[in-house]
A and B are shown apart, each in its own frame.
Chain A
């Protein structure tokens, strides 16, 4: 079985920050905006190198989204960064009208998504943002799994014409994808081939899915693991092809089971290849304060939860 090595824990938000810095050097049209969270979003290097291309809007996210839409008129590629909660739910109508309906080339870059934001608690831990964003026509939705992938995705979305929601997180997590990877929007990445169950994961749950697959293999269950970094447009072919082979699926995400990756996968399968599915996701609940590890465990978002779900779904075949 292939071994994925953690090359040293790093936060995905630093992947965003470093990707943005590279873009600052390579693409003169890239501009950045932030709503008083420069440090949290790791944007300081970009700002130091390109002060004239950075817009500090203060604690005013609605204005930030509107300004981002306006900056595209004149050819700029705005990267607007704040916490996922304030980047989506707080400004849904601004994104809907000024960005999505107006088809503006805005990149909404959302850090601190999900429960792994940790101690700040539920006011800041959005678990609904994938749903909110994927429901908007024309919006591309990406949830990256580690530092390297977040950096690659940040660079890749600048080349994509149209609105993008890029979701990443706060904690330091395993960094295991290739440093020199080519990030293809909408292209699933197969991490393990297997025959008994398909595990489809996004974001921080991808590393947990790898751990789960290794343990399941030891117990005689062959798991295919797919990293779905792009939730919309979804790589439906990769999902269907895999489930045709394995006959069942576990979806894994740091998000409510309502509106997330799991529901997108369920729709895909129900249309062309119905199969038993288990959802590793939060169960229509708010989060709470705690360490990321404690919260992942309490809300059933770790390798143990995936193993349990895999064993259950295999029996349902």
Chain B
């Protein structure tokens, strides 16, 4: 894959932020906070890290595949899929509207290219990814499986079934990323249900753990994911603890859980967009 210029990638991320804000504003619903916080991750993954094919095929044989477990951050997923060629960018204008393929939470049901499983009911993505990773091994396919999970999502018990399975069965062709923004709907993860020492927990389960301290620094996210790839194939599943800031890129949405699932009004949108000037063209 051609290495893009970092400035080009930053422009891409800025446009994705605009897409996120405009999608949720139009229908006055959706989840901008986590979407904005994961913009660099998605940009890095789809523009730089994964060997993937926008001519979508469900089985994804001989390509890297990705599962979004915390499906509520669909705005960033949709924007990046559209802008990497999976479906027309104009379709972003149908987000959450009736008869749209861009459902509130991602689904295969309407046949949207790029989506391999429905997500939204939390805690299920890693199990699905492990199945896909095992299928790759059976098929002699050396490509990787990537996942993203919210930090609050780790409160769902199914994750820990999957985390135990992955290490116990040496599923070493998976790179899971935890979006460590410390926020969930009702408040900080610390006040809702403390996650404790996640590094120690993953290590105790037998995972290879790495951290990216600045999860909204695009270069550092790219470097982190590249390093994670070097850790695969060695008998252990790999997890990245990605420290992000919910709402990153819009000053009044940062450092709070308030924008987890709330759309900006007209005035707020204008302010937010002015902080993220158009780069690749709005849809």
Q: Does A169 belong to the interface (CB within 8 Å)? A: no
- Chain A residues with CB under 8 Å of B87's CB are none
Nearest residue, chain A, Cβ from B119: A97
Known: A53-B138, A76-B135. A63 touches B127 (CB 8 A): yes
Residue tally, chain A, CB below 8 Å to B: 32
Contact A97 B124 (CB under 8 A): yes
User: Which of these binds chain B: A65-73, A216-224, A289-297?
Assistant: A65-73
In Å, the complex CA distance between A93 and B120 comes to 11
Contact A58 B60 (CB under 8 A): no
Residue in contact with A74 in the complex, picked from B126, B136, B162, B164, CB distance below 8 Å = B136
Question: In the complex, how many angstroms separate the beta carbon of B208 from the nearest chain A beta carbon?
Answer: 20
Mask, A89-103, CB within 8 Å of B = 1, is 000011011100111
- Chain B residues with CB under 8 Å of A68's CB are 131
Contact B161 A71 (CB under 8 A): no
Contact B121 A93 (CB under 8 A): yes
- Chain B residues with CB under 8 Å of A66's CB are 124-128, 130-131, 158, 162
Contact A73 B109 (CB under 8 A): no
In Å, the complex CA distance between A68 and B138 comes to 14
Contact B161 A63 (CB under 8 A): yes
Question: In the complex, how many angstroms separate the beta carbon of A255 from the nearest chain B beta carbon?
Answer: 26
Q: Does B116 belong to the interface (CB within 8 Å)? A: yes
Contact B109 A94 (CB under 8 A): no
Question: In the complex, how many angstroms separate the beta carbon of A314 from the nearest chain B beta carbon?
Answer: 46
Residue in contact with A97 in the complex, picked from B116, B121, B136, B139, CB distance below 8 Å = B121
- Chain A residues with CB under 8 Å of B60's CB are 73-74
Q: Does B239 belong to the interface (CB within 8 Å)? A: no
Contact B108 A62 (CB under 8 A): no
In Å, the complex CA distance between A101 and B124 comes to 13
Contact A52 B138 (CB under 8 A): yes
Mask, A190-226, CB within 8 Å of B = 1, is 0000000000000000000000000000000000000
In Å, the complex CA distance between A57 and B117 comes to 20
Contact A70 B117 (CB under 8 A): yes
Contact A63 B165 (CB under 8 A): yes
- Chain A residues with CB under 8 Å of B108's CB are 101-103
Residue tally, chain B, CB below 8 Å to A: 40
Within 8 A of B (CB), among A66-117: 66-76, 78, 93-94, 96-98, 101-104
Contact B124 A31 (CB under 8 A): no
- Chain B residues with CB under 8 Å of A102's CB are 107-109, 117-118
- Chain A residues with CB under 8 Å of B125's CB are 66
In Å, the complex CA distance between A101 and B107 comes to 8
- Chain A residues with CB under 8 Å of B132's CB are 70-71, 73-74
- Chain B residues with CB under 8 Å of A132's CB are none
- Chain B residues with CB under 8 Å of A104's CB are 117
Contact A97 B120 (CB under 8 A): yes
Contact A63 B158 (CB under 8 A): yes
- Chain B residues with CB under 8 Å of A70's CB are 67, 117, 127-135
Contact B164 A58 (CB under 8 A): yes
Question: In the complex, how many angstroms separate the beta carbon of B78 from the nearest chain A beta carbon?
Answer: 17
Q: Does A55 belong to the interface (CB within 8 Å)? A: yes
- Chain A residues with CB under 8 Å of B109's CB are 101-103
- Chain B residues with CB under 8 Å of A53's CB are 138
Residue in contact with A57 in the complex, picked from B65, B139, B165, CB distance below 8 Å = B165
Q: Does A60 belong to the interface (CB within 8 Å)? A: yes
Residue in contact with B59 in the complex, picked from A31, A75, A101, CB distance below 8 Å = A75
Most buried by B among A55, A62, A64: A62
Contact B59 A63 (CB under 8 A): no
In Å, the complex CA distance between A52 and B120 comes to 32
Nearest residue, chain A, Cβ from B163: A63
Known: A60-B164, A66-B130. A76 touches B138 (CB 8 A): yes
- Chain B residues with CB under 8 Å of A78's CB are 131
Known pairs A62-B127, A67-B128, A73-B58. 8 more at Cβ < 8 A? A31-B138, A52-B138, A67-B131, A67-B162, A70-B117, A97-B118, A102-B117, A103-B109
Those 3 A-B pairs whose CB atoms lie nearest each other, nearest first:
A70-B131, A66-B127, A74-B135
Give 15 pairs: A residue, B residue, CB < 8 Å, sorted on A.
A58-B164, A58-B165, A62-B161, A63-B130, A64-B127, A66-B125, A66-B162, A67-B127, A67-B130, A70-B128, A70-B129, A70-B132, A74-B136, A74-B139, A75-B139
